[in-house]
Amino acid sequence: MRMSKNFLALLIAALITSAAPAEAIEIPPKFDFIGNGYGHGVGMSQIGARSRALSGESASAILNYYYKDVQVAPFVDTHTIRVNIAHLVKTIAFTTHTPGARLEVFEGDIGNSVEFMPVASYATKKRATFTLASLPKERALTLRWVGENPIITMTQGSISTKYKYGYITIKALKGALVVTNTLALRDEYLWGISEVPSSWPAAALEAQAIASRSYALSKLSIIRPSCDCQVFSHISDQNFVGYSKESEPRFGHFWKDAVTRTIIDTSTSLVVLSNGKPAQTYFFSSSGGATQTTLDAWGAATAFTQSVPDTASADVKLNPRFASWKAASTQELVAKAFLLPNVVSLEILSRNQAGAVTYIAATSSEGVTKKIRGDTFRSRAKLPSPWFSLVSVQN
């Protein structure tokens, strides 16, 4: 049987078409966002606290606005706190520049015990450098500094931080070094908290000092084996910079004075209490117009967080960098956020009562879709806050 020429041509065209590969789905190199605020949005807004202090509110009034059903009252705080100041590093160095001072090194995690003799001593301007190989068989060293008002400087790469109080411990962990500073919580630790500018109004500084003390007290129950610490020195807990905070030019003493004013007597200081216990007083820089609860942000309720208006965060004069913002996140970051090989599209699924993103979904080029919490995405994609909108996909 003979085929017509037209039929044969159609058959060949069909075969060619069916054999042609499907058009490849383009994977965008980045995603663009706009948004408002900086931080997770739970608890006290620091920009809001500043605004309220400028309006004449007291530290207690500020704290009672942002935290629900709490009491700001004296509470025993005669504890020490162990702060991780360098985590899983390969090398760390210390120097004292105080005339006549010296840095003493002891074997083991001995704290302030006077029963031991130093195994090494470093005079002024002599640099003490430690690596994993430096540690003795006890796998730990304790550093103490002596002299008239001695100050030491810790150097990690290009970053130097000053310390004055307590003692420092260096331990081996996971083939690297963890370094901690143990010191008095009520004042020595708080003097080193660098969460807000020291030039801010007194009531805002006092509110921050009380919130920071309350947060620290709530974290004392255990020393975490993963960091040999009760708190980290960065924003996963609180930003602690040691003596570098109170020694700031011009304004450092304002912060130290604010902390001192919140101390009541030799054993108690002002603390935010929820049901009689120190509250884990979360705080952040600024919001998208209202604060979030822990249920909103992380899916677990707490008695003392609430959603309240935070209009100061939208004030460009008070919050010039983050009243509104534009940001981009790379394909690599977004894909890692969802644990996908790639992401071709994003969809905001829901927002909470504060206007922050509750859930966001991503779809890969293979058609796999996953969703995560908005604050989880904010953190993983390195966006300023969970108050964001998707602008476009860049191809």
What CA–CA distance (Å, rounded) separates 101 from 335? 52
pLDDT at 19: 46
pLDDT at 22: 52
Using an 8 Å Cβ cutoff, are 255 and 242 in contact?
A: no
Angle of CA points 268, 269, 274, to nearest 5°: 100
C-alpha dist (Å) from residue 312 to 169, 286, 288, 291? 42, 8, 10, 11
Q: Which residues pair with 8 in a beta bridge?
A: none
| Average pLDDT, 10 consecutive residues per value, the chain (395 residues) | 49 48 80 98 99 99 98 98 98 97 97 93 97 88 97 96 98 96 98 98 99 99 96 96 96 98 98 98 98 96 97 98 98 98 97 98 97 98 98 60
Q: Which residues pair with 144 in a beta bridge?
A: 104
Residue 365: exposure state from Cβ atoms within 10 A (0-12, 13-18, ≥19): middle
231-232 β-sheet, strand order: 120-123, 102-107, 140-146, 167-173, 176-184, 80-89, 231-232
State the sign of the Cα–Cα–Cα–Cα dihedral 194, 200, 202, 207. negative
Q: Are strands 283-284 and 44-45 parallel, antiparallel or unpaired?
A: parallel
Give every CB contact of residue 6 below 8 A, 6+ residues apart in sequence: none
Using an 8 Å Cβ cutoff, are 85 and 240 in contact?
A: yes
| Closest alpha carbon to 74 in 273, 353, 350 | 273
Tell me how crowded residue 214 is: count the other CB atoms within 10 A of its CB. 28
Q: Which two tokens stand for residue 57?
A: 């509110």
pLDDT at 138: 75
What's this model's pTM, rounded to 2 decimal places?
0.91
